[in-house]
Structure 1
Amino acid sequence: MSSGGQAMAAPKLAPPPRLSLPIVVGIIIVLGVAAAWAWPPFARWPSEWAIPFRAWVTEGFVWFSAAAKPVTRILSWLLSWPLWFSEALLFRGFPALSLPPLPWVAIVGGVAILGHWAGGRGLAIFCGLAAFYLAIFGLWQDSMQTLSIVLVTVPLAAALGLALGLWATRNTRVERILNSVFDVMQATPHMAYLGPVVILFGFGQVPAMLATFAFALPPMARCTILGLRTVPPDILEAGRMAGCTPRQLLWKVEIPAAEKTLMLGLNQVVMQTLAMVVIASLVGASGLGQKLLFSLQQLQIGKAVEQGVAITLIAIVLDRLTQAYMAKVPSHTDPKNGFTARHPHISLFVLLLAASVAAAGFSHGFAVLPKEMTLSYGGPINNAVRWISKELFPYIKPARDALTIWLMLPLRNFYLWLPWPVMLGVLAAIGYHLSGWRLALLPVCLFGFMMLAGFWEPLMLTIYLVTGATILCVIIGIPIGIWAAHSPRVAHVTKGVCDTLQTFPSFIYLIPVIMLFQTSDVSNVIAMLAYATVPAIRYTYLGLLRVPSATLDAAVASGATPWQRLRKVELPIAFPEILLGFNQTIMMALAMVAITALIGSRDLGQEIYKALPGADTGRGLLAGLGIAFIGITADRLIGAWAMQRKRQLGMA
């Protein structure tokens, strides 16, 4: 006690030093490997200890299917009518009324007219030639079957997505729930949607349409939420001051102000629908997807190329039409003018339709192009494939084998050897280092569930394939993105190539892979590579473009060489954006996992594919959730890393 009667303050102890992440990871690896050596279940969770979630899910769906059969039958019946009408209009006709379908000439011309209305002469020519391709190469009926599902599914998915998005913007709790549901839905591969639909609705066109609808719904809802959340406050205030009711404010102010974002959502719905329609051929959807799948299974590469080009052209036409409409400047005409002057494109189509129907009455060739008038280039492609197999494969094989020996096999053996406590512990340590306990527990819970369900080995094989593809995507994509950011000419070419690659349905990438690499793990990775490199290129390019010019000028003034400027200034600042591209690359590689199962694998995608014939919903759904869990874990970890880097750079 001092003379003033006050006790002396105890010395404040410094907090214990926090172990760095590499040290923590090293400790986890040592302890995990030692535990696996001491007790085998720490190396591989025994299959007899697996919890039968798979059987429970399958039995639950069977029970629910029986209980909900009256509802599913009514829903199928209701949806069959618009689908029947669309098919009758495009290719079946109306036999009860003795009415034929629309003549192919009218549809080709109508697509060209629609292209002119949306984007001018160039788009009209492209759309017309693309539609003519479907007819001249004998793919008309199959194309119309595919298009009929798209024409019915897109309005339904867009309408429900818009409604859910509106609901979410009015209720924060609903928005949180929907965002969590959409995260899982968008991370789940296409094929995983098919199992539950088969149990509930069986096989056929309507089940395929419902699976397509479920897959295409989230983008519209999310774009609706984004569009309405980003309406400028001054526009909303002006609407309120003008005396708008809440309903008027929504329909006359908010939705028009968010039109660009909503149209982007519609564009995504169209593309997702077309991608899913092809995959839905596995549950009985007729059309181009069914024919393409058959051609791939029979290794009829020439026919597969013809059908793949048709699917790609449909996708590009729909993409270009929606994009052109987004950029279209509204035109105003004098209401005193006649209908023809005010609506020239509609008038021209009506005239074309009348002329083509009249011509079809005299010659059936105007209604349906005769088979003897169609063309095919499948034969030369088959000859080319045989030539490639004979002449080029001896040169391709060493590269494939080297990639297998030096990258794929070491990765596969590593992931299959890795004890599960090490995998879960390392992911938890990384999550805790980046964002705390909540992120640390996420991979433990998700991957731990897959282990308890008996899916650990397929999970590791999936991670192995995605890791191999991601490594190659980064090695290729980042340098191309850097090159494009420093060369406008390269950027122009690169953006065109990326736009085209992203328009292709994922099935298409299997064709050149089978031609060049046959079937192997390397083939799966190369297919993922072609599909998933685009985000690595785009985000690297955008990240470097967004580096402040003042920062670059300061680096130049300090005497930095171009290489020093890139390595010490541009790449560090662009790193958070590059990480987002890395994240999207993983997501797109995961999306291809179920597709590449068609050419052979032992991963979760193969589990989904094997579950379809026997309607083993539990197997397919849990495998799909496993792929989604990988995507969610990667998304959260990489997102947290990007945010940490932004804070370190003072950007957040």
Structure 2
Amino acid sequence: MSQAETDLAAPAGQANGLTALLRKPWLFWAALFLSTALISHYAFDLYKALDARWIIRFPSAWQPDFEGRISAFMTWLLEDARILGLQFREITRGLAAMIEAPYDLVLDLFVRGLVFGQGQQAVQILPPLSWVAVVYAVVALGHYTKSWALAALMGGCFGYLAVFGQWESAMVTLSSVLIAVPLAAGGGLLLGILAYRLRWVDLMLRPVLDLMQTVPVFAYLVPILFMFGFGPVSALVATIIYAMPPMIRVTIVALRGVPEELAELGRMVGCTPGQQMWKVMVPSAKPTIMVGVNQVIMLTLNMVIIASMIGAGGLGYDVLTALRRLDIGGGIEAGIAIVVLAIALDRLSQEYATRTVEQTARQAQGGWLRRHRWALSAAAVALATFLAGMVLPWIQNYPAAAEISTGAFWTRAMEYINVTYFDTLDAIKTMILQWFMLPVRGFFTGIPWVWGLFAATLIGLRAGGWRLAALVFCLVGLIVLAGLWTPAMMTVYLCGVSVVIASVIGIPLGIWAAGSAGSNRVIGAFVDTLQTLPSFVYLIPVVMLFRVGDFSAMIAIVAYALAPAVRYAAHGIRSIDPQVIEAGIVSGCTPAQLMRRIKLPMIVPELLLGLNQTIMLALSMLVITALVGTRDLGQDVYIALTKADTGQGIVVGLAVAFIAITADRILAASARQMRRKLGIEQ
């Protein structure tokens, strides 16, 4: 049916100007942009002419005291609330003790050794595992999991930590990972199974997971600090909360992906519901579930620096301390150590996820000694190094005299770049600020809240109908009610600028990567490196080269959020039906026409999903860039953390989450529309 026929078929009351506008994307976006630009430019003049301050700033008298009420609730919860006869504070302290006991045990094993007594009276009865024993153990684990190549990688990574003087801090971080990952993965697996089996649990968990994955990490720390106090246990709790949502989602998807024939077979042989789940469904879904475990590991390592702000030690504390002292070399050294540890654990978990049944069966053959040879040899090495370490201390602890430090090299390298290329870097920074970032900031920060609320709701209506429009209106309206419109627009500006630049760089890279195996390997390795770098690590070289401010924040956000734009573009190109490409070639399309008229239009849904993920990463990084002088919602969250203001932290954190959820829903709806137009989805 043509557009004219559609208009005639529509009821007369609906064939109005707004409907026509919503049907034409280019007209809709052009009209919305021009009207917003004019209103943003003349908003202050309008406010003066009408003497209506409420046009610019939402009246404080109309703002509910969200922060005060939340703070009062948290105080009541901690001091007066009772659950099953127990005070809530007693429950949190009990949970803390349950987490602290295994953490102390692992910390004793890797760092402190077995100590009797406290303070100056403390006496070490047994030393921790020697560096030789730990390196051998991870080599054995690598060989058991996959091959000698993985074993060599594991040994090289952990040997690097010893040789470059990062061993003790790395073992503190590893201890946190070994406690947080099983708790987050195990809890996520159980909740995922529950959501798979009970529809109402799934429906209840969805908004909770949306909030957990979009609320800034700093916002987690404020109430956790309030409930659990300052220390490593609070850091572990924050890490578990941060790392659990992907495991829940992956578990649900993995169980739903188990073939129905396999589930039916389990029922036919008489499996109970428990046996059906744990002996049929979970083993069948194991490869996908292990992807979730891999995500938990990477998110846990991403939290080590942030968690150091509330008492976690290790490599994260070293990076944070170096950043505060502007110690370039020390910060980069500790950051590289985190990356090395992340690479080792990432590759180990990935290879374990791809283990086949044949590999497991082959390793289970033979006698008891053969099946457990690696574990027994690791125990033997641990005992031998313990005894040898009494005579030769370098076996127990890597000798300080043999350690290599790269701190001075990194410091000199940054100084050389600053001195040699300062004018060039400053010129690039000034040009981008003046001609791109500042105009965009003026555009967004000048939008009155009334028009902003209307425009956001209209976009929701255009993308997904009245239900999405109502959701957008409620979420954006809550930001307005909280009095956070101006910092929210600063957040949208900085996130928007960063996402545009990340997409402009990432989409061509993804298309290039999909073009050949060689480019895919190079770009894939580059993207993998970006994804294993913890977020704080990006700040160190950026601050050294560009000082603090919006430009430095933008560079760090672009680097952190680049990966999804690359991956989704490459995936979209590879998923195009080869027959469609062949038809374009036969019809005489040049490579440029093939890309412009066939490939790019067909991968728009994937590009929108990549844009969605880029926005999520940009918002999560934006809160961390508050440390380099931004003036947005991230800065407000950081201030709330420093003041331990639970009300402010939660309210501002939810405002960031509302922005993320709004963008997610609008882009997801737009992607569905594009799929329908392309005939990919009904």
- Structural mapping, 1:67-466, within 5 Å: 67=80, 68-96=88-116, 98-329=125-356, 330-333=359-362, 337-466=366-495
Q: Give the whole-Å Cα distance in 2 for the aligned partners of 1:227 and 1:504.
A: 27
Is 1:25 paired with 2:32?
A: yes
SS, match of residue 231 in structure 1:
coil
SS at match of 1:95: strand
Cα deviation 1:505-533 (Å, max 9, x = unaligned) = 11111122122212121110000010111
Change (3 A) 1:130 1:336: closer
Deviates more, 1:91-100 or 1:493-502: 91-100
Distance 1:54 1:114, change over 3 A: same
Contact 2:232 2:311 in 1 (8 A): yes
Kept after mapping to 2: 8 A contact 1:51/1:454: no
Q: Distance in 2 between matches of 1:585 and 1:26?
A: 22
Query: Residues 137 and 374 of structure 1 are in contact (CA less than 8 Å); yes or no, is this contact kept in structure 2?
Result: yes
The 1:198/1:558 distance shift into structure 2, 3 A limit, reads same
Q: Measure how far apart 1:27 and its partner are.
A: 9.7
Report the secondary structure of 2:258's partner residue.
coil
Partner of 1:4: none
What SS does the corresponding residue of 1:454 show, helix, strand or coil? coil
Instruction: Please tell me the residue identity of whatever aligns with 1:626.
Output: A
1:641 corresponds to 2:667: no
In the alignment, which residue of structure 2 is the partner of 1:533?
562
- Among 36, 58, 76, which residue is 1:45 paired with? 58
Structure 1 position 331, deviation (Å):
3.3
Partners in 2 of 1:414 and 1:500 — Cα distance?
A: 35
Shift of residue 178, structure 1, vs aligned partner = 0.4
| Aligned counterpart in structure 2 of residue 502 of structure 1, from 517, 524, 531 | 531
Q: Distance in 1 between matches of 2:559 and 2:665?
A: 25
Report what 2:15 is aligned to: 16
8 A contact 2:219–2:641 mirrored in 1: no
Contact in 2 for aligned 1:434/1:640 (Cα 8 Å): yes
Question: CA distance change for structure 1 residues 559 and 53 in 2, over 3 Å: closer, same or farther?
Answer: same
- The superposition leaves residues 166-218 of structure 1 with CA deviations (integer Å, 9 ceiling, x where unpaired) of 11111111101101100111011222110010110111010111111111111
CA contact (8 A) 1:204 1:284 kept: yes
Q: 1:197 to 1:375 in 2, by over 3 A?
A: same
CA contact 1:205–1:285 (8 Å) conserved in 2: yes
Q: Helix, strand or coil for the counterpart of 1:376?
A: coil
Provide, for residues 438-475 of structure 1, a one-character-per-residue CA deviation record: whole Å limited to 9, x for no partner. 11122221122122112111111111110110110111
Give me the TM-score of the superposition, normalised by structure 2: 0.91
Cα distance between partner residues in 2 of 1:457 and 1:282? 28
In terms of mean alpha carbon deviation, does 100-109 or 67-76 score higher?
67-76
* Deviates further, 621-630 or 633-642: 621-630
CA distance in 1, matches of 2:582, 2:634: 49
- Indicate if the aligned counterparts of 1:25 and 1:429 stay in contact, CA closer than 8 A: no
Structure 2 SS opposite 1:526:
helix
How far does the alpha carbon of each residue in 1:591-617 deviate from its partner, in whole angstroms, 9 at most, with x for none? 101111111111111111111122111
Q: Tell me, in whole angstroms, the C-alpha distance in 2 between the residues paired with 1:436 and 1:334.
A: 56
1:500 alignment partner, SS class: helix
Q: SS of the counterpart of 1:141? A: helix
How far apart in 2 are the matches of 1:334 and 1:351? 20
How far 1:378 sits from its partner (Å)? 0.5
* SS class of match (1:286): coil
State the SS of the aligned residue for 1:20: helix
User: 2: distance between equivalents of 1:456 and 1:491?
Assistant: 42
- Between the aligned partners of 1:179 and 1:594, the Cα distance in structure 2 is 23
1:485 Cα deviation from its structure 2 partner: 2.0
What is the identity percentage for the equivalent residue pairs of Structure 1 and Structure 2?
42
Residue 335 of structure 1: how far off its partner (Å): 7.3
Gaps of 5+ in 1: 1-11
Secondary structure of residue in 1 paired with 2:660: helix
Deviations 1:62-121 (A, max 9, x none): 221223211112221222111110110111111128121111110111112111211211
CA distance 1:556–1:72, change in 2 (3 Å): same
Cα offsets for 1:288-318 (capped at 9, x unmatched): 1111101011110100011001111111111
The equivalent of 1:5 in structure 2 is: none
Higher deviation after alignment, 53-62 or 37-46: 37-46
The one-letter amino acid paired with 1:344 is R
2:301 maps to a residue whose letter is: L
Partner-residue secondary structure (3-state), 1:645: helix
Query: Residue type of the partner of 2:531?
Result: Q
Aligned equivalents of 2:336 and 2:34: distance in 1? 53
Aligned partner of 1:600 in structure 2 is 629
Please report how far the alpha carbon of residue 157 of structure 1 lies from its aligned counterpart in structure 2 after TM superposition: 1.1
Question: Within 2, Cα distance between the matches of 1:115 and 1:640?
Answer: 43
3-state SS in 1 of match to 2:567: helix
Describe the SS at the equivalent of 2:128.
Answer: coil
Separation in 1, partners of 2:513, 2:234: 44
Q: CA deviation at 1:46?
A: 3.1
CA distance in 1, matches of 2:535, 2:63: 34
Amino acid at match of 1:60: F
In the alignment, residue 376 of structure 2 is paired with which amino acid? Answer: S
Aligned to 1:610: 639
- Calculate the aligned-residue CA RMSD, in Å: 1.9
C-alpha separation between the residues in 1 aligned to 2:607 and 2:364? 52
Partner AA of 1:444 in structure 2: F
Letter in 2 for 1:396: L
Are 1:585 and 2:614 matched, yes or no? Answer: yes
Q: Which consecutive unaligned segments of at least 5 residues does structure 2 have?
A: 1-10, 81-87, 117-123
- Tell me how far apart the structure 2 counterparts of residues 66 and 425 of structure 1 sit (CA, whole Å): 42
Letter in 1 for 2:519: V
CA positional deviation for 1:351: 2.4
Task: Give the superposition deviation at 1:49.
Answer: 3.7
Rounded to whole Å, the distance in 1 between the matches of 2:352 and 2:498 is 36
Looking at structure 2, the residues matched to 341 and 508 of structure 1 have their Cα atoms a distance apart, in angstroms, of 43
3-state SS in 2 of match to 1:559: coil
Residues 25 and 488 (structure 1), Cα distance of their counterparts in 2 relative to 1, 3 Å cut: same
**Letter aligned with residue 408 of structure 2:** G
Moved more, 381-390 or 195-204: 381-390
Distance in 2 between the 1:53 and 1:122 partners?
Answer: 56
- The residue aligned with 1:570 is 599
Q: In the superposition, relative to structure 1, how do residues 202 and 16 fare at CA in structure 2: closer, same or farther (>3 Å)?
A: same
Residue 25 of structure 1 aligns to which amino acid in structure 2?
A: L
Offset at residue 270 of structure 1 (A):
1.0
Q: How many Å separate the matches in 2 of 1:491 and 1:530?
A: 19
Pairwise CA distance, 1:334: 8.9
